[in-house]
Structure 1
Amino acid sequence: MEEDPWNLREYLEGLRRWWWVLLVVPLAPAGITAGVSASEPVQPLTYKATATFLLEGSAGVNNFPPLVTTRPALDAAAKQAGLSSTVEELQASVSARLVPGTDFLEINATHTQPTMAADNANAVAAEFARQVAKIRESQLSAARDELAKQLEVLGEFASVRRVADTVASTLETGLSSLNGVTLVVPAEAPVNSVSVTANHMVRDTIIALVVGVLLSVGLVMLLDYLRNPVGSAAMFQRRFNIPHLGTVPRWSKGVGGGGDLAVESDAASGFVEAIRQAAANIEFGARAWGINSIVVASPDIREGRTSLMANLAVAVSPIGKRW
């Protein structure tokens, strides 16, 4: 059957019928999203400063990052530099990492003030350099003591004295470069803040509103489909694939009072004309298809079947048919 060009009217009628769904469903998620976003605390801007070290030697360098953030090291850094930050604050804001594929170590410090971020990073870097220097000096002292013992034994043999001196010189040179660190890039006050997850309340609310609108339109279509009304003659013909004989509007209870039918009491009204038009169509169909009886049915009680049948019977009574 050819599609009705006015099919859009049915969808618009459904949207009008369920207008409250179109209003409530989008506003609910939009309101919840806006409320959740508004309740989240606004995160202050955070700045990160970085101090970079060049590592000399490879023995034990993997232990350097944990050494930077130990509580004794941070406490010594705060006291040595006179920082206003506590040890707990430094533990939460200072980190260290080895740059992959290089001999560099980075010490990062974050703070809401850029100058404080740089001061904290430089103070921790200075303390780290002192700690490494102490470890290096301890290693050198132990190596020198062991070397002195070996030379004392070798000294008894004059033939190997020159060889021992050469070995001692070589070992001294090697030990001097053991696990050294050099600060190549001190931390500076950062200009740009660290990217943080922003609270996009307006954006999230608009997205929730759009999603709610789409859901509401789908829900309206579902509700209208389940309601399954016949709202127009075109819908009637398309849904049941049978001819439409007429549409009779509902008339008030006052019409036809005192036992009179509507077609007799108010012959000039619109619904009386609709009944007569339906009767004329029925008469045409009766002649064309040889119909002598018509049954009026409805899906529920008290929908006016008796009244409609009586008025149709009066309207077509000149035809002499049985209704």
Structure 2
Amino acid sequence: MPQEPEVILVVDDDPDILRVVEVNLRLHGYQVLLAKSGGEALAMLEVQRPHLALVDLMMPGMDGLELTRRLRADPMVTALPIIMLTAKALVSDKVAGLAAGADDYIVKPFDTSELLARVRATLRRNQEAREVSPLTGLPGNTRIQREIADRLRARSEFAVCYVDIDRFKSVNDAYGFARGDQFIGALARSLRRATIAAGLPPAFLGHIGGDDFVVVCSPDQLRPVTEKAVGDFEIAADELYDPIDAGRGYLELYDRQGRLHQVNIVTLSIGVALSSSRGYQHPSEVSEVASEMKAVAKKHPGNWVSVDQRSKHLGLPAQRTAGQETASPQELGP
């Protein structure tokens, strides 16, 4: 399906400026909404959701600064990217626009090529920001799916690893969500170090959310990435537990009936889907198999890697568990 054009709202009381900007934006594939005042723009935003706004600084009644402040105060459009159009080149006016919440500014009269370049750059930055996990700074699910789709189109062999922390809820229950976020951050750093150490071609690391991560790498990078990530995270997790809990290797938690339970410390379950195992047509198919393999890995004690059996044997090494036992990666039958 063709991608829907991005919508740009242009707010300016000068009809000549509106016409020039509209023509150039439409020529480059954008859909354009026009407003001649701040009030008209606010009314338009009640029913329209543009991707970016070009706002004139000097307008009668509600000027661009006031309009920008109102947009930033509205939860529905607070993240709308705004480029301020100003006839004043004074630093104080530029600073005022940025302080009000504008993302960028351009001075009139402007070259249309510069305007288009700033529009593209601002839209790109905004899209990238929307796709990033606020906790880890890693690409989110939209970017993950695009990475898998790109690899499918390239027809190169790859592995998708779905990584999850076992018994993560016990950490939140025992220590609170702030400590839980530290465990998630530790896993993100461990996976980052592992993917960087794997060398070229560069492996991709994304954060679905919570304690779920995805690594996309070449099949021969699967062993070093998983081995290093597991070992690195074990060390980091031990340091995040209270010393008494880390020393005995388990948490003591009370259930709702007041009964005391011993819960083992966290480990990792990793499910792996390989491009060579099936004739994948869509990224969601790859994700489903990796998720299925992760569920299988969770049935086994300790750190565990489960690889779809309908793939060639990779000779993955045993992974060390927190209890110093070993567990070979499980490969499923059909």
Tell me the TM-score normalised to structure 2 length. Answer: 0.26
> Rg: which structure is higher?
1
Q: Which of structures 1 and 2 has the larger relative contact order (alpha carbons within 8 angstroms, sep 6+)?
A: 1
Tell me the TM-score normalised to structure 1 length. Answer: 0.26
